[in-house]
Amino acid sequence: MKRISALLTVLALLSALCVSPVQAAVRPNDEVLFTAVEPSAAMEELGSRLSISITDRTQGGVGLDTLRSLERSVNYLSADLFREAAARLYSRYGVTVEILFVPYTGQPYVGLTSLVVDRSGSYCTVELVDAAPSGVSGLNEGTMLHELCHLLNFAMLDEQAVNPVQAAFAGLSGGVPYQSQFEAGQAQEWRQHVNSLGVDPSRCFVSDYAMTDPFEDFACLLQTIALDSDAWERTLLQ
């Protein structure tokens, strides 16, 4: 199975994290990806530098502070790695990555990354929600980085449904099935099943994203490595 060099980079980070007691955060690069002071021009410049498209559908318009947050999120991965992932997706699937800023319209998420490969029209989109009813904005570095990690994971796919990191994570679950694989298909019933196994929840990723699927494992762990979130570390990495 062919894999881009991003996979080796990520697995090296994960290996270092699992064997080292030191804090997990990495220092982001400080590459300046845009210099424009007007948001629409900044988005155009940022998109050009990363070889992607950026679309703003929010009601008030995305500001420079949000675009700087996006820049920092990219730099946590490194702009070169991001560009490599975008180039891989274009080469493999013929799609240009799009970052789409959208208003809240009832969706149960603040960030969503989708890769669809279909004869009728393929696309790869990162949706970032302006604000949910609770007032929690989707336009923050944690959400952005999490979604970019999904993008990176998609770039590792040699076939649309094959996740090359699933085997690497299998040993961390203690044999607990993913929610997506649990035959009952219900989160509450899955948690009851986990409890019946007597497995320490901190060892099988029980959290908001707990054991949903390999993609969430990947994004949550890499997000934790980059941002050094104490809450994520306590939940996922004990």
DSSP state for residue 205 in the 8-state scheme: T
* Helix (H) or strand (E) run with residue 92 in it: helix 79-93
User: Phi and psi for 101 in degrees, rounded to 5?
Assistant: -85, 125
DSSP H stretches of helix in the chain? 5-19, 39-50, 64-77, 79-93, 141-155, 166-170, 187-197, 214-227, 230-236
In a structure prediction context, what are the per-residue pLDDT tens digits for the chain, which is 238 residues long? 334 444 444 444 344 333 333 344 556 788 999 999 999 999 999 999 999 999 999 988 999 999 999 999 999 989 999 999 999 999 999 999 999 999 988 888 889 999 998 888 899 999 999 876 676 666 788 889 999 999 999 998 887 767 877 777 666 666 677 777 776 556 667 777 777 776 665 555 544 445 677 888 788 878 877 776 555 455 544 4
Contacts of 20 (CB under 8 A, 6+ apart): none
pLDDT tens profile 23-51: 445 567 889 999 999 999 999 999 999 99
DSSP, collapsed to helix, strand or coil, labels residue 102 as strand
Amino acid residing at 123: Y
Hey, what amino acid is at 217?
A: D
Distance CA 211, CA 70 (A): 27
* Distance separating alpha carbons of residues 113 and 52, to the nearest angstrom: 14
User: What are the structure tokens assigned to 151, written together?
Assistant: 């993008």
pLDDT, tens digit (0-9, with 9 covering 90-100), for 116-141: 988 888 999 999 998 766 766 667 88
